[in-house]
Amino acid sequence: MKPLRSLFFLLLLLISNISIIAQEEDKSTLTLDRIFKNFEFFGERFGPARWIDEGKYYTSLETSKDVTGGRDIIKYETVSGNREIMVSAKLLIPEGKEKPLAINDYTWSTDRKLLMIFTNTARVWRYNTKGDYWVLNLETNELKKLGGEAKPSTLMFAKYSPDNKKVGYVREHNIYVENLSDGKITQLTFDGSETTINGTFDWVYEEEFDCRDGFRWSPDSKQIAYWQLDASGIGVFNMINNTDSVYSRIIPVQYPKVGTQNSSAKVGVINSEGGETVWMKVDGDPRNNYIPRMGWHDSSNEIWFQYFNRAQTKVEIFLGDIKTGDIKPILKEEDNVWIDVVDDMRWLNKGKEFTWISERDGWRHIYLISKDGKKVELITPGNFDVIDIQKIDDKNGWIYYRASPENATQRFLFRVSLDGKGKTEKLTPRDLGGVNSYQVSDGANYAIHTHTKMDSPASINLVELPSHKTIRNLVENKTYKEKVNALKRLPSEFFKVDIGNNVVLDGWMIKPPDFDPAKKYPVLYYLYGHPAAQTVLDQWFGVQYLWHLMLAQQGYIVISIDNRGTPAPKGKDFRKILYKNAGTVTSIDQAEAMKSVLNNYNFIDPLRIAVWGWSGGGVSTLNLLFRYPELFQTGLAVAAVSDERLYDTIYSERYMGLITENEEGYKESAPITFAHQLKGNLLMVHGTGDDNVHYQNMELLIDELVKHNKHFTMMAYPNRSHGIYEGEGTTMHLYTLLTKYLNDNTPAGGR
């Protein structure tokens, strides 16, 4: 019996080893559970980091070893890396409480004697911009909550006055100032309501102009400039909540649809001690013009603001006198297409000149303009686009910006002298291809550099500028990268697509790990196609990349191509060709791109092509499926606009023009116009609580499809917003649905 028992145990051991080997091998294969349920793939946590003392030090958040659930604020000496706990989590425990404040964000006063903590946050549409603010006095260790008797999670955008003696904030659509010495609270505005909005913005300004914080301290700390919006008369879109009670609940959203009335916006200045507001005397109908940016001139006697017409084809910069409200224009630009809002307007040389970004020569460039607007100097000449400004170092005379003149899928750091006479310098090393971003210190001696590529999660390093020499690694993401590198995969391939008429588009392709060029494979075509985003970037896309890779492991080729009209740094003509014809141009480019792909790659099965996208990508998906049924057999459209006329004023009218001048263009761009041509398989997914792209879009499209006896599949997620992530299990359910629909209608595998 002993030999048999030994053999039995030997067999068990062999089975166990086989099981272990199988488990190890399984690490090379992705599943939905691994990506969306078990959350196996996640990076190291870092920051938020803050530079202090001209870059000599920086601070960051780290898990406390002494206080359970708390985070300490750590101070690092930049060069040496010497570490000290600047603020222990112990100091962030309110009196009478046992746990420290959860830190959603933090801000130092300029003298570093005060620390402000943003916590207990609440969501306002897309981001958590309401919450509680606490101030820690680092000299006395006194921790005090701001707002007095304010309700929890109702303060917004609290910030120190430049002299660090006060804090201003918005509460329930009014502006307040609180003295830090004695806690005295002064209410500055009193007319705030659901329709009179002080110091913040309505839905459409927030969504489309990225306007949230709506007030600015003067440099001398004596005045506050702010926006006031009058939202009365805006159309109210009613969403409905059917799940939280036995009775439904209406959720009203002030939402101006194409061609309807906007909020009126004005800017004014009020004394920080209280008093009457001096409003800037702007001509024109305030409901048919926009003021998306505003700030102080260096003198504290004037404010500046950007003033756009409703079509967003004309912008003027005005200076406004804070005592009289009189304004004077200093710059005006007009175009036959839309003009982008400028975020990087900065006063230099004691307020004698300012930086500006313009496409007046066909490329996005930085200009230096005199206060009177008479002197306009090009700082970044050449046939390339400035993508964004990373730092303006006026003390040393440099502007640091990102660009990628040779490869629109990548991003690199450059600098140029402010006098416009110096040679442009590329600072990112050539071997760091991919997408590079920077958090540059004051003085521009150092930067926190994030580098990522499509096939690799981010690395974060501390670098010296301008040499770009690495001082030390901050985030290696070693475990994350090891898990990703253990996956069965081929390197992602970037390629170019010639669609004729001298138009060349960028694309990428993910092939199955066991790719055989002699076989034909199905394609999942991923796209966005609109001016808000590129999909063809050489950067890590996280779980989206992993899902695409999982599908490649199943036997799909995943492809994405950026059409004209996406924000690629290829010049104004490339980006703005779709003006007034967004859906049409996008569809033509994408269809021609797919034809070119089919002609150039024999391993693609023309009878198994599926397309998918979210939001703008959902629009593109519907358009391709309806307009080109001979090319695309299956479509997965998530949170799609079915008709631009149902979307908001600022976004739609920016890219499509005013509907009174382009009604036919709106009709021809809308997927719903071509719904009767559906021949393939269509899955539509939408959240019924989507305040951005309303569920109405899917319902009206359903009506049109039913009218023409077109059959489809749909999934409505109750009360989910545009991101469709709220609620336990939602993301897992959504991607399971998408995967199954793709598998069922576009079978995987080479043939």
Q: Are 182 and 197 members of one domain?
A: no
Q: Are 669 and 525 members of one domain?
A: yes
What 8-state DSSP symbol labels residue 248?
-
Q: Are 663 and 700 members of one domain?
A: yes
* Domain annotation covers residue 454: no
Share of the chain above pLDDT 70, in %: 97
Give the number of domains in the chain: 3
* Domain annotation covers residue 708: yes
User: Tens digits of per-residue pLDDT, 334-374?
Assistant: 999 999 999 999 999 999 999 999 999 999 999 999 999 99
Q: How far apart are the C-alpha atoms of 9 and 22, rounded to whole Å?
A: 20
CB-based contact 369:346 (threshold 8 Å): no
Predicted confidence band of residue 7 (pLDDT cuts 50, 70, 90):
very low
Closest CA to 63 of 11, 103, 116, 30: 103
* Domain annotation covers residue 457: no
CB-based contact 695:239 (threshold 8 Å): yes
Q: Are 285 and 169 members of one domain?
A: no
For the record, the structure tokens of 509 come out as 């392709």
Residue 173 Cα distances to 73, 152, 191, 263, angstroms: 32, 15, 8, 15
Q: Which residues pair with 261 in a beta bridge?
A: none
User: Tens digits of per-residue pLDDT, 459-512?
Assistant: 999 999 999 999 999 999 999 999 999 999 999 999 999 999 999 999 999 999
Query: Does residue 10 register a pLDDT over 60?
Result: no
* Domain annotation covers residue 705: yes
Mean pLDDT along residues 324-341: 97
Q: Are 546 and 587 members of one domain?
A: yes
Q: Are 197 and 302 members of one domain?
A: yes
**What is the structure's pLDDT at 366?**
97
| 122, 152, 187 - which closes a domain | 187
Three-state secondary structure call for residue 449? strand
**What is the structure's pLDDT at 47?**
86
The strand pair at 398-403 and 196-198 is best described as unpaired
Q: Are 177 and 50 members of one domain?
A: yes
Mean pLDDT along residues 297-319: 97
* Domain annotation covers residue 40: no
Q: Are 196 and 128 members of one domain?
A: no
Query: Does residue 19 register a pLDDT over 50?
Result: no
User: Tens digits of per-residue pLDDT, 596-626?
Assistant: 999 999 999 999 999 999 999 999 999 999 9
Q: How far apart are the C-alpha atoms of 197 and 212, rounded to whole Å?
A: 11
User: Tens digits of per-residue pLDDT, 207-220?
Assistant: 999 999 999 999 99
**What is the structure's pLDDT at 256?**
98
Query: Does residue 14 register a pLDDT over 70?
Result: no
Most distant CA atoms of the chain, gap in Å: 106
Residue 535 Cα distances to 219, 272, 273, 372, 569, angstroms: 40, 45, 49, 41, 13
Give the CATH number for residue 258.
2.140.10.30
Query: Does residue 12 register a pLDDT over 50?
Result: no
CB-based contact 197:229 (threshold 8 Å): yes
Residue 631 Cα distances to 469, 581, 596, 624, 684, angstroms: 50, 21, 12, 8, 19
Q: How far apart are the C-alpha atoms of 588 and 505, rounded to whole Å?
A: 13
CB-based contact 534:528 (threshold 8 Å): yes
Mean pLDDT along residues 237-247: 96
* Average pLDDT along the chain: 95
Q: Are 556 and 610 members of one domain?
A: yes
466 cis-preceded (ω within 30 degrees of 0): yes
SS3 per residue for 650-687: HHHHHHHCCCCCCHHHHHHHCHHHHHHHCCCEEEEEEE
Q: Which residues pair with 403 in a beta bridge?
A: 386, 412
Query: Does residue 691 register a pLDDT over 50?
Result: yes
Neighbours of 726 (CB within 10 A): 15
CB-based contact 541:332 (threshold 8 Å): no
* Domain annotation covers residue 373: no
User: Tens digits of per-residue pLDDT, 537-560?
Assistant: 999 999 999 999 999 999 999 999
Query: Does residue 13 register a pLDDT over 90?
Result: no
* Domain annotation covers residue 154: yes
Three-state secondary structure call for residue 318? strand
User: Tens digits of per-residue pLDDT, 30-88?
Assistant: 999 999 999 899 899 898 999 999 899 999 999 999 999 999 999 999 999 999 999 99
Q: How far apart are the C-alpha atoms of 667 and 681, rounded to whole Å?
A: 24
Residue 28 Cα distances to 14, 20, 31, 36, 457, angstroms: 22, 14, 10, 16, 17
Give the CATH number for residue 503.
3.40.50.1820
User: Tens digits of per-residue pLDDT, 409-447?
Assistant: 999 999 999 987 778 999 999 999 999 999 999 999 999
**What is the structure's pLDDT at 254?**
96
Domain interval for residue 258: 188-334
Q: Are 114 and 261 members of one domain?
A: no
| 316, 334, 352 - which closes a domain | 334
CB-based contact 445:466 (threshold 8 Å): no
CB-based contact 748:555 (threshold 8 Å): yes
| 286, 304, 334 - which closes a domain | 334
Scan for tokens 């599926």, then name that residue.
610
- 437: alpha, beta or left? (left if phi > 0; alpha if psi -120 to 50): beta
Q: Are 177 and 246 members of one domain?
A: no
**What is the structure's pLDDT at 15?**
41
Q: Are 150 and 215 members of one domain?
A: no
What is the pTM (predicted TM-score) of this model? 0.94
Share of the chain above pLDDT 90, in %: 95
Neighbours of 122 (CB within 10 A): 13
* Domain annotation covers residue 362: no
**What is the structure's pLDDT at 250?**
97
